[in-house]
């Protein structure tokens, strides 16, 4: 199912890239917004869920700083780092606990 989802996303991206097509947001942005919307309606403790999800992504990338590599000085990046580091340790010492979800 994951592979099929990736193939569909690739096909959709190809269609969006055709000349004359209006530029749209990346497919993962729409998928993430849909997932977050569903989680906000279903998770009892949404903040904890979001923090754990960000920690899982950081663990897969290798560090909390990897989440904000593109623009580490922005206030948004600082807020993301604060949430992840408050959850998984300010030196990423507990990040390994989140690697496998």
**How far from 79 is each of 5, 30, 65, 88, CA to CA, in Å?**
31, 22, 12, 14
Average pLDDT for consecutive 10-residue bins of the chain (101 residues)?
71 69 73 93 96 97 95 93 97 94 71
Measure the CA–CA gap between 13 and 24, rounded to whole angstroms.
9
Q: What pLDDT, on a 0 to 100 scale, did the predictor assign at position 100? A: 85
Q: What pLDDT, on a 0 to 100 scale, did the predictor assign at position 54? A: 97
38 contacts 55 by C-beta, under 8 angstroms: no
Give pTM, 2 decimals: 0.72
Segments making up each domain of the chain, as ranges? 1-42, 44-101
């Amino acid at each position: 199912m994951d592979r099929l989802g990736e193939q569909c996303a690739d096909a959709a991206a190809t269609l969006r890239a055709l000349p004359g097509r209006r530029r749209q947001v990346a497919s993962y942005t729409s998928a993430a917004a849909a997932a977050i919307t569903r989680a906000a309606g279903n998770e009892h403790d949404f903040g904890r869920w979001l923090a754990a999800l960000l920690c899982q992504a950081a663990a897969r990338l290798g560090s909390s700083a990897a989440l904000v590599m593109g623009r580490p000085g922005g206030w948004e990046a600082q807020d993301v780092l604060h949430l992840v580091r408050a959850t998984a340790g300010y030196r990423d010492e507990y990040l390994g606990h989140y690697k496998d979800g």
